[in-house]
Amino acid sequence: MPLQTQLTRLLGIRHPIIQGGMQWVGRASLASAVANAGGLGILTGLTQPTPEALRQEIRACRALTDQPFGVNLTLLPSITPPPYKEYAQVIIDEKVPIVETAGNNPGEFIKMFQEAGIFTIHKCVAVRHALTAQRLGVDMVSMDGFECAGHPGEDDLTNLVLLARTSKELNIPFVASGGFGNGQGLVAALALGAEGINMGTRFVATKEAPVHENIKLALVNSDERNTTMIFRPFRNTSRVFKNTVALEVNAIEKAKKESLVFDDIRELVSGARGRTVYETGDKDAGVWTAGPVMGLIHDIPSCHDLLERIVSEAEHIIQDRLASAIVK
What does the DSSP 8-state code read for residue 225? T
Q: Who contacts 328 (Cβ-Cβ below 8 Å, separation ≥6)?
A: none
When pLDDT is cut at 50, 70 and 90, the band that residue 307 belongs to is very high
Whether the pLDDT of residue 51 is over 90: the answer is: yes
DSSP helix/strand/coil, 82 = coil
Q: How far is CA 129 from the centre of its chain?
A: 17
SS3 content of the chain, % helix, strand, coil (to 5): 45, 15, 40
What would the mean pLDDT of 54-80 be, rounded to a whole number?
A: 94
pLDDT of residue 20: 94
* Whether the predicted pLDDT of 89 surpasses 70: yes
- What is the arithmetic mean of pLDDT over 286-314? 98
Looking only at the bridges linking them, the beta strands covering 238-241 and 227-230 are: antiparallel
pLDDT tens-digit map of 158-185: 999 999 999 999 999 999 999 999 999 9
pLDDT at 78 over 80: no
d(Cα 283, Cα 244) in Å, to the nearest integer?
A: 9
Closest alpha carbon to 225 in 291, 298, 160: 291
Element (H, E) at 311: helix 303-316
- Confidence band for 306, pLDDT divided at 50, 70 and 90: very high
**Residue 327 pLDDT level (bands cut at 50, 70, 90):** confident
3-state SS, residue 25: coil
> What confidence tier does 1 reach under pLDDT thresholds 50, 70, 90?
low
Is the distance from CB of 11 to CB of 119 less than 8 angstroms? yes
Residues 49, 229 contacting (CB under 8 angstroms)? no
- pTM for the full predicted model: 0.96
* Domain range summary for the chain, segments of one domain joined by +: 6-209, 227-289
d(CA 145, CA 101): 17
CA-nearest of 133, 80, 81 to 109 is 133
What average pLDDT does the chain have? 96
pLDDT value at 35 more than 90: yes
Q: Is the pLDDT of residue 152 over 80?
A: yes
- HEC string of 164-210? HHHHHHCCCCEEEECCCCCHHHHHHHHHCCCCCEEECHHHHCCCCCC
Provide the pLDDT for residue 217. Answer: 98
Q: What is the pLDDT of residue 26?
A: 98
Q: What is the DSSP letter of 116?
A: T
pLDDT for 77 beyond 90:
no
Q: What is the pLDDT averaged over residues 312-323?
A: 94
Report the distance separating Cα 67 and Cα 71, nearest Å.
14
Higher pLDDT, 26 or 1: 26
First-to-last CA distance in the chain? 24
268: helix, strand or coil: coil
Kindly state the average pLDDT of the residues 48-52. Answer: 97
pLDDT recorded at residue 130: 97
Q: Which residues contact 244 (CB under 8 A, 6 or more apart)?
A: 284
> How far apart are alpha carbons 125 and 183 in whole angstroms?
23
Mean pLDDT score, 293-322: 97
Give the per-residue pLDDT at 249: 97
CB-facing half-sphere around the CA of 259: CA atoms within 13 A: 3
- Over residues 57-64, the mean pLDDT reads 98
Check whether domain 6-209 has CATH 2.60.40.420, yes or no? no
d(CA 176, CA 159): 8
pLDDT above 90 as % of the chain: 93
